[in-house]
Protein backbone atom coordinates (compact mmCIF):
# COMPACT_ATOMS: atom_id res chain seq x y z
CA UNK A 1 0.00 0.00 0.00
CA UNK A 2 1.29 3.43 -0.91
CA UNK A 3 1.86 5.88 1.93
CA UNK A 4 -0.37 8.30 0.03
CA UNK A 5 -3.38 6.02 0.60
CA UNK A 6 -5.45 7.11 3.57
CA UNK A 7 -7.51 4.65 5.57
CA UNK A 8 -11.24 5.25 5.20
CA UNK A 9 -12.71 3.56 8.26
CA UNK A 10 -16.26 2.27 8.58
CA UNK A 11 -17.67 0.79 11.77
CA UNK A 12 -20.42 -1.74 10.98
CA UNK A 13 -22.66 -1.58 14.04
CA UNK A 14 -23.57 1.02 16.65
CA UNK A 15 -24.64 -0.85 19.75
CA UNK A 16 -23.00 -0.69 23.17
CA UNK A 17 -19.61 -2.12 22.13
CA UNK A 18 -19.70 -0.51 18.69
CA UNK A 19 -20.23 2.93 20.20
CA UNK A 20 -17.58 2.30 22.87
CA UNK A 21 -14.88 1.33 20.37
CA UNK A 22 -15.91 4.31 18.24
CA UNK A 23 -14.59 6.58 21.00
CA UNK A 24 -11.10 5.13 20.43
CA UNK A 25 -11.25 4.87 16.66
CA UNK A 26 -12.64 8.38 16.24
CA UNK A 27 -9.97 10.07 18.31
CA UNK A 28 -7.21 8.03 16.68
CA UNK A 29 -8.43 8.71 13.14
CA UNK A 30 -8.42 12.45 13.86
CA UNK A 31 -4.73 12.44 14.78
CA UNK A 32 -3.18 9.64 12.71
CA UNK A 33 -1.73 11.03 9.46
CA UNK A 34 -2.68 7.94 7.43
CA UNK A 35 -6.41 8.09 8.26
CA UNK A 36 -9.26 10.15 6.90
CA UNK A 37 -10.61 12.37 9.66
CA UNK A 38 -14.23 11.25 9.33
CA UNK A 39 -15.21 7.75 10.48
CA UNK A 40 -18.54 6.36 9.26
CA UNK A 41 -20.60 4.28 11.68
CA UNK A 42 -23.46 2.29 10.19
CA UNK A 43 -26.55 2.59 12.38
CA UNK A 44 -29.54 0.30 12.21
CA UNK A 45 -32.08 3.09 12.26
CA UNK A 46 -34.40 3.28 15.25
CA UNK A 47 -36.56 5.95 16.80
CA UNK A 48 -35.81 7.14 20.31
CA UNK A 49 -37.56 9.57 22.63
CA UNK A 50 -35.42 12.18 24.35
CA UNK A 51 -36.21 13.46 27.87
CA UNK A 52 -36.75 17.00 26.59
CA UNK A 53 -39.25 15.94 23.93
CA UNK A 54 -42.18 13.57 23.56
CA UNK A 55 -41.71 13.31 19.81
CA UNK A 56 -39.66 10.29 18.61
CA UNK A 57 -36.52 11.15 16.66
CA UNK A 58 -34.14 9.03 14.57
CA UNK A 59 -31.21 7.57 16.47
CA UNK A 60 -28.73 8.50 13.73
CA UNK A 61 -29.82 12.14 13.90
CA UNK A 62 -29.38 12.17 17.67
CA UNK A 63 -25.88 10.70 17.40
CA UNK A 64 -24.85 13.28 14.78
CA UNK A 65 -26.33 16.24 16.62
CA UNK A 66 -25.65 15.36 20.25
CA UNK A 67 -22.60 13.10 19.67
CA UNK A 68 -24.07 10.53 22.01
CA UNK A 69 -25.70 7.15 21.49
CA UNK A 70 -28.51 7.81 23.92
CA UNK A 71 -29.94 4.29 23.64
CA UNK A 72 -26.89 2.00 23.79
CA UNK A 73 -24.17 4.11 25.41
CA UNK A 74 -25.88 6.96 27.29
CA UNK A 75 -23.76 9.54 29.06
CA UNK A 76 -20.68 9.07 26.86
CA UNK A 77 -19.65 11.74 24.36
CA UNK A 78 -18.62 10.35 20.98
CA UNK A 79 -15.89 12.11 18.98
CA UNK A 80 -17.40 14.69 16.65
CA UNK A 81 -15.78 13.00 13.63
CA UNK A 82 -17.91 9.86 14.10
CA UNK A 83 -20.69 10.16 11.53
CA UNK A 84 -23.75 7.96 12.02
CA UNK A 85 -25.04 6.72 8.66
CA UNK A 86 -28.25 4.64 8.40
CA UNK A 87 -27.66 3.76 4.73
CA UNK A 88 -25.19 0.86 4.58
CA UNK A 89 -24.10 1.60 1.01
CA UNK A 90 -23.21 5.14 1.92
CA UNK A 91 -21.53 4.16 5.17
CA UNK A 92 -19.05 1.75 3.61
CA UNK A 93 -18.48 3.58 0.32
CA UNK A 94 -14.79 3.17 -0.65
CA UNK A 95 -13.92 1.98 2.87
CA UNK A 96 -10.44 0.50 3.28
CA UNK A 97 -10.91 -0.72 6.86
CA UNK A 98 -14.12 -2.30 8.14
CA UNK A 99 -14.73 -2.80 11.85
CA UNK A 100 -17.46 -5.40 12.36
CA UNK A 101 -19.23 -5.05 15.71
CA UNK A 102 -22.78 -6.39 15.60
CA UNK A 103 -24.60 -9.69 16.28
CA UNK A 104 -23.27 -12.17 13.73
CA UNK A 105 -26.71 -13.41 12.72
CA UNK A 106 -27.18 -10.11 10.81
CA UNK A 107 -24.07 -10.57 8.65
CA UNK A 108 -25.47 -12.71 5.78
CA UNK A 109 -27.85 -9.96 4.64
CA UNK A 110 -25.27 -7.20 5.01
CA UNK A 111 -22.09 -8.65 3.49
CA UNK A 112 -23.19 -8.59 -0.18
CA UNK A 113 -24.02 -4.87 0.14
CA UNK A 114 -20.74 -4.17 1.89
CA UNK A 115 -18.70 -6.06 -0.70
CA UNK A 116 -20.24 -4.08 -3.55
CA UNK A 117 -19.38 -0.70 -2.05
CA UNK A 118 -15.99 -0.89 -0.30
CA UNK A 119 -12.66 -0.16 -1.96
CA UNK A 120 -12.25 -3.05 -4.42
CA UNK A 121 -8.58 -3.86 -3.74
CA UNK A 122 -7.42 -2.27 -0.49
CA UNK A 123 -10.15 -3.12 1.98
CA UNK A 124 -9.48 -5.26 5.05
CA UNK A 125 -11.49 -5.96 8.17
CA UNK A 126 -11.35 -6.47 11.91
CA UNK A 127 -14.14 -8.37 13.64
CA UNK A 128 -15.14 -7.60 17.23
CA UNK A 129 -17.95 -10.15 17.07
CA UNK A 130 -18.05 -12.73 19.88
CA UNK A 131 -19.49 -15.91 18.42
CA UNK A 132 -19.02 -18.90 16.11
CA UNK A 133 -20.76 -20.11 12.98
CA UNK A 134 -21.70 -23.76 12.48
CA UNK A 135 -21.46 -25.71 9.24
CA UNK A 136 -24.48 -28.01 9.21
CA UNK A 137 -22.88 -30.30 6.59
CA UNK A 138 -19.47 -30.86 8.13
CA UNK A 139 -20.66 -30.42 11.74
CA UNK A 140 -17.64 -28.20 12.32
CA UNK A 141 -17.34 -24.75 13.90
CA UNK A 142 -16.52 -21.90 11.54
CA UNK A 143 -14.77 -18.68 12.56
CA UNK A 144 -16.87 -15.61 11.82
CA UNK A 145 -13.75 -13.90 10.46
CA UNK A 146 -13.50 -16.72 7.90
CA UNK A 147 -17.17 -16.36 7.01
CA UNK A 148 -16.56 -12.65 6.40
CA UNK A 149 -13.46 -13.36 4.29
CA UNK A 150 -15.29 -15.86 2.10
CA UNK A 151 -18.28 -13.56 1.59
CA UNK A 152 -16.10 -10.56 0.76
CA UNK A 153 -13.82 -12.54 -1.60
CA UNK A 154 -11.04 -10.90 -3.65
CA UNK A 155 -8.37 -11.83 -1.09
CA UNK A 156 -10.09 -9.94 1.72
CA UNK A 157 -8.30 -10.39 5.07
CA UNK A 158 -10.22 -10.20 8.34
CA UNK A 159 -8.55 -10.18 11.75
CA UNK A 160 -10.17 -9.88 15.17
CA UNK A 161 -9.98 -7.63 18.22
CA UNK A 162 -10.73 -9.53 21.44
CA UNK A 163 -9.94 -8.82 25.05
CA UNK A 164 -11.04 -8.01 28.58
CA UNK A 165 -13.07 -5.06 27.35
CA UNK A 166 -16.32 -4.30 29.16
CA UNK A 167 -17.77 -1.69 26.82
CA UNK A 168 -18.81 0.93 29.36
CA UNK A 169 -15.43 0.82 31.09
CA UNK A 170 -13.64 1.22 27.75
CA UNK A 171 -15.85 4.18 26.89
CA UNK A 172 -15.18 5.82 30.25
CA UNK A 173 -11.42 5.58 29.69
CA UNK A 174 -10.64 3.03 32.39
CA UNK A 175 -7.34 1.31 31.70
CA UNK A 176 -7.57 -2.05 29.92
CA UNK A 177 -5.83 -4.23 27.34
CA UNK A 178 -6.99 -5.81 24.11
CA UNK A 179 -5.58 -8.24 21.56
CA UNK A 180 -5.51 -7.59 17.82
CA UNK A 181 -5.06 -10.91 16.01
CA UNK A 182 -4.28 -11.04 12.32
CA UNK A 183 -1.71 -10.51 9.60
CA UNK A 184 -2.92 -7.84 7.21
CA UNK A 185 -0.07 -7.87 4.72
CA UNK A 186 3.22 -6.65 6.21
CA UNK A 187 4.60 -5.19 9.42
CA UNK A 188 3.83 -1.62 8.41
CA UNK A 189 0.17 -2.31 7.66
CA UNK A 190 -0.15 -4.44 10.80
CA UNK A 191 1.16 -1.55 12.89
CA UNK A 192 -1.15 0.94 11.18
CA UNK A 193 -4.21 -1.11 12.02
CA UNK A 194 -3.02 -1.63 15.59
CA UNK A 195 -2.67 2.13 15.96
CA UNK A 196 -6.25 2.65 14.79
CA UNK A 197 -7.42 0.91 17.98
CA UNK A 198 -4.62 1.58 20.47
CA UNK A 199 -5.07 4.61 22.72
CA UNK A 200 -2.38 4.40 25.36
CA UNK A 201 -2.28 4.55 28.29
CA UNK A 202 -5.93 3.62 28.78
CA UNK A 203 -6.57 1.22 25.87
CA UNK A 204 -3.47 -0.84 25.17
CA UNK A 205 -3.55 -3.08 22.11
CA UNK A 206 -1.03 -5.85 21.39
CA UNK A 207 -0.97 -7.74 18.08
CA UNK A 208 -0.58 -11.50 17.59
CA UNK A 209 -0.95 -13.78 14.55
CA UNK A 210 -3.29 -16.37 16.09
CA UNK A 211 -6.72 -15.36 14.76
CA UNK A 212 -8.33 -18.74 15.44
CA UNK A 213 -7.29 -18.88 19.09
CA UNK A 214 -8.23 -15.28 19.82
CA UNK A 215 -11.59 -15.46 18.07
CA UNK A 216 -12.61 -18.81 19.52
CA UNK A 217 -11.74 -17.57 23.02
CA UNK A 218 -14.00 -14.57 22.44
CA UNK A 219 -16.96 -16.88 21.77
CA UNK A 220 -16.27 -19.67 24.26
CA UNK A 221 -15.67 -17.43 27.27
CA UNK A 222 -19.33 -16.33 27.07
CA UNK A 223 -20.35 -19.95 27.66
CA UNK A 224 -18.21 -20.13 30.79
CA UNK A 225 -19.73 -16.80 31.91
CA UNK A 226 -23.18 -18.42 31.88
CA UNK A 227 -21.79 -20.99 34.32
CA UNK A 228 -20.41 -18.14 36.44
CA UNK A 229 -23.91 -16.67 36.63
CA UNK A 230 -25.23 -20.02 37.84
CA UNK A 231 -22.50 -20.16 40.48
CA UNK A 232 -23.41 -16.64 41.65
CA UNK A 233 -27.09 -17.52 41.88
CA UNK A 234 -26.17 -20.48 44.08
CA UNK A 235 -24.17 -18.16 46.36
CA UNK A 236 -21.08 -20.36 46.18
CA UNK A 237 -18.49 -17.60 46.37
CA UNK A 238 -15.11 -16.75 44.90
CA UNK A 239 -13.40 -20.11 45.40
CA UNK A 240 -16.00 -21.93 43.32
CA UNK A 241 -15.93 -19.29 40.62
CA UNK A 242 -12.13 -19.50 40.47
CA UNK A 243 -12.41 -23.26 39.95
CA UNK A 244 -15.01 -22.70 37.25
CA UNK A 245 -12.72 -20.26 35.45
CA UNK A 246 -9.80 -22.70 35.58
CA UNK A 247 -11.84 -25.61 34.23
CA UNK A 248 -13.51 -23.30 31.72
CA UNK A 249 -10.14 -22.20 30.35
CA UNK A 250 -9.12 -25.85 29.94
CA UNK A 251 -12.31 -26.64 28.04
CA UNK A 252 -11.72 -23.58 25.86
CA UNK A 253 -8.15 -24.67 25.12
CA UNK A 254 -9.23 -28.23 24.39
CA UNK A 255 -12.00 -27.10 22.03
CA UNK A 256 -9.65 -24.71 20.19
CA UNK A 257 -6.97 -27.36 19.77
CA UNK A 258 -9.47 -29.95 18.59
CA UNK A 259 -11.32 -27.88 15.99
CA UNK A 260 -8.91 -25.18 14.75
CA UNK A 261 -5.44 -25.26 13.22
CA UNK A 262 -2.53 -23.12 14.34
CA UNK A 263 -3.79 -22.26 17.83
CA UNK A 264 -0.89 -21.18 20.04
CA UNK A 265 -0.67 -21.90 23.77
CA UNK A 266 0.43 -18.32 24.46
CA UNK A 267 -2.87 -16.96 23.14
CA UNK A 268 -4.67 -18.19 26.25
CA UNK A 269 -2.47 -15.90 28.38
CA UNK A 270 -3.20 -12.82 26.25
CA UNK A 271 -5.97 -10.37 27.02
CA UNK A 272 -8.22 -12.28 24.59
CA UNK A 273 -7.77 -15.43 26.68
CA UNK A 274 -7.50 -15.54 30.45
CA UNK A 275 -8.13 -11.82 31.04
CA UNK A 276 -11.31 -11.74 28.95
CA UNK A 277 -12.54 -14.91 30.64
CA UNK A 278 -12.03 -13.44 34.11
CA UNK A 279 -13.74 -10.11 33.42
CA UNK A 280 -16.67 -11.80 31.67
CA UNK A 281 -17.19 -14.17 34.58
CA UNK A 282 -17.33 -11.28 37.04
CA UNK A 283 -19.27 -8.77 34.92
CA UNK A 284 -20.95 -8.44 31.56
CA UNK A 285 -24.34 -9.35 30.19
CA UNK A 286 -23.92 -13.14 29.98
CA UNK A 287 -23.10 -13.59 33.65
CA UNK A 288 -25.85 -11.13 34.64
CA UNK A 289 -28.56 -12.83 32.60
CA UNK A 290 -27.47 -16.34 33.66
CA UNK A 291 -27.69 -15.35 37.33
CA UNK A 292 -31.25 -14.12 36.79
CA UNK A 293 -32.14 -17.29 34.85
CA UNK A 294 -30.80 -19.46 37.66
CA UNK A 295 -32.56 -17.47 40.38
CA UNK A 296 -35.88 -17.91 38.61
CA UNK A 297 -35.19 -21.62 38.22
CA UNK A 298 -34.13 -21.98 41.85
CA UNK A 299 -37.40 -20.44 42.97
CA UNK A 300 -39.09 -23.70 41.97
CA UNK A 301 -36.80 -26.48 40.71
CA UNK A 302 -39.56 -29.07 41.08
CA UNK A 303 -41.03 -27.92 37.76
CA UNK A 304 -39.74 -29.83 34.75
CA UNK A 305 -38.59 -27.15 32.28
CA UNK A 306 -38.39 -28.26 28.64
CA UNK A 307 -36.29 -26.60 25.93
CA UNK A 308 -39.15 -24.45 24.65
CA UNK A 309 -39.79 -23.07 28.12
CA UNK A 310 -36.07 -22.42 28.66
CA UNK A 311 -35.84 -20.56 25.35
CA UNK A 312 -38.81 -18.42 26.33
CA UNK A 313 -37.25 -17.64 29.71
CA UNK A 314 -33.94 -16.59 28.15
CA UNK A 315 -35.78 -14.35 25.68
CA UNK A 316 -37.75 -12.73 28.50
CA UNK A 317 -34.58 -12.07 30.52
CA UNK A 318 -32.75 -10.67 27.47
CA UNK A 319 -35.62 -8.27 26.78
CA UNK A 320 -35.96 -7.11 30.37
CA UNK A 321 -32.29 -6.79 31.32
CA UNK A 322 -30.46 -5.86 28.11
CA UNK A 323 -32.80 -3.26 26.59
CA UNK A 324 -32.07 -4.04 22.96
CA UNK A 325 -28.63 -5.65 23.32
CA UNK A 326 -28.26 -9.32 22.41
CA UNK A 327 -27.25 -12.23 24.62
CA UNK A 328 -24.42 -13.93 22.71
CA UNK A 329 -23.55 -16.65 25.23
CA UNK A 330 -26.69 -18.73 24.73
CA UNK A 331 -26.25 -18.64 20.94
CA UNK A 332 -22.63 -19.78 21.22
CA UNK A 333 -23.66 -22.46 23.70
CA UNK A 334 -26.24 -23.92 21.32
CA UNK A 335 -23.79 -23.88 18.42
CA UNK A 336 -21.04 -25.56 20.46
CA UNK A 337 -23.45 -28.16 21.82
CA UNK A 338 -24.56 -29.05 18.28
CA UNK A 339 -20.92 -29.66 17.39
CA UNK A 340 -20.22 -31.77 20.47
CA UNK A 341 -23.45 -33.73 20.19
CA UNK A 342 -22.89 -34.53 16.51
CA UNK A 343 -19.49 -36.03 17.38
CA UNK A 344 -20.52 -37.63 20.69
CA UNK A 345 -18.09 -35.45 22.64
CA UNK A 346 -20.39 -34.31 25.44
CA UNK A 347 -18.52 -36.28 28.11
CA UNK A 348 -15.20 -34.86 26.92
CA UNK A 349 -16.52 -31.36 27.60
CA UNK A 350 -18.41 -31.89 30.83
CA UNK A 351 -18.48 -28.22 31.81
CA UNK A 352 -19.88 -27.00 28.47
CA UNK A 353 -22.37 -29.87 28.48
CA UNK A 354 -23.58 -29.17 32.00
CA UNK A 355 -24.07 -25.48 31.24
CA UNK A 356 -26.13 -26.49 28.21
CA UNK A 357 -28.21 -29.00 30.19
CA UNK A 358 -29.02 -26.40 32.85
CA UNK A 359 -29.75 -23.74 30.24
CA UNK A 360 -31.95 -25.77 27.90
CA UNK A 361 -32.77 -29.23 29.26
CA UNK A 362 -34.07 -28.51 32.74
CA UNK A 363 -31.05 -29.89 34.64
CA UNK A 364 -31.10 -28.53 38.22
CA UNK A 365 -28.91 -25.46 38.70
CA UNK A 366 -27.40 -27.15 41.75
CA UNK A 367 -25.75 -29.68 39.40
CA UNK A 368 -23.33 -26.98 38.23
CA UNK A 369 -20.51 -27.99 40.58
CA UNK A 370 -20.58 -31.60 39.35
CA UNK A 371 -18.83 -30.51 36.15
CA UNK A 372 -16.16 -28.30 37.71
CA UNK A 373 -13.31 -30.80 37.70
CA UNK A 374 -10.47 -31.53 35.30
CA UNK A 375 -7.36 -33.54 36.20
CA UNK A 376 -5.25 -33.23 33.05
CA UNK A 377 -2.59 -30.53 32.72
CA UNK A 378 -2.97 -27.61 30.34
CA UNK A 379 -0.13 -28.79 28.08
CA UNK A 380 -1.46 -32.35 27.96
CA UNK A 381 -4.93 -31.02 27.17
CA UNK A 382 -3.67 -29.10 24.14
CA UNK A 383 -1.53 -32.01 22.93
CA UNK A 384 -4.39 -34.50 23.12
CA UNK A 385 -6.95 -32.14 21.58
CA UNK A 386 -4.62 -31.42 18.66
CA UNK A 387 -4.24 -35.14 18.05
CA UNK A 388 -8.03 -35.56 18.18
CA UNK A 389 -8.42 -32.73 15.62
CA UNK A 390 -6.60 -34.87 13.09
CA UNK A 391 -9.13 -37.64 13.67
CA UNK A 392 -12.28 -35.50 13.24
CA UNK A 393 -11.20 -33.20 10.41
Q: Is 329 annotated as a binding residue?
A: no
Q: Is 159 annotated as a binding residue?
A: no
Q: Is 106 annotated as a binding residue?
A: yes
Q: Is 44 annotated as a binding residue?
A: yes
Residue by residue, DSSP assigns 293-309 as HHHHHHTTTTS---HHH
d(CA 145, CA 243): 31
3-class secondary-structure state, position 345: coil
Q: Is 389 annotated as a binding residue?
A: no
3-class secondary-structure state, position 103: coil
Distance of CA 31 to the CA centre of its chain: 27
Q: Is 42 annotated as a binding residue?
A: no
Q: Is 328 annotated as a binding residue?
A: yes
Q: Is 15 annotated as a binding residue?
A: yes
- Strands (DSSP E) contained in the chain are 9-12, 39-42, 47-48, 57-58, 82-85, 97-100, 124-127, 132-135, 140-143, 158-162, 176-181, 203-208
Name the residues annotated as catalytic: 221
Q: Is 386 annotated as a binding residue?
A: no
H/E stretch holding 225: helix 211-234
Tell me the C-alpha to C-alpha distance, in Å, between residue 373 and each of 192, 216, 243, 345: 43, 22, 8, 16
d(CA 261, CA 69): 39
Q: Is 18 annotated as a binding residue?
A: yes
Q: Is 154 annotated as a binding residue?
A: no
User: Which parts are annotated binding residues for substrate?
Assistant: 130, 285-286
User: Which parts are annotated binding residues for NAD(+)?
Assistant: 13-18, 44, 106, 167, 285, 326, 328
Amino acid sequence: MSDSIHEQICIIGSGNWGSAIATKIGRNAAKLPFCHDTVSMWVFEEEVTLPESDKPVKLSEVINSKHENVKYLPGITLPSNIRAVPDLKEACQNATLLVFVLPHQFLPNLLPIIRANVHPTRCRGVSLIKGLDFDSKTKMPVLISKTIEEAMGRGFVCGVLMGANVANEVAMGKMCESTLAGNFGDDRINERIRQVFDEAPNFRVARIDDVAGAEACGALKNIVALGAGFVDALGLGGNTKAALIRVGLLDMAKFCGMFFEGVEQGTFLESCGMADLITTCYGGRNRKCAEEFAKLRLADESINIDQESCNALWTKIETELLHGQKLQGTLALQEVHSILESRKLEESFRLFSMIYNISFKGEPVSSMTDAIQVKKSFTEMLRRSSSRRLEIS
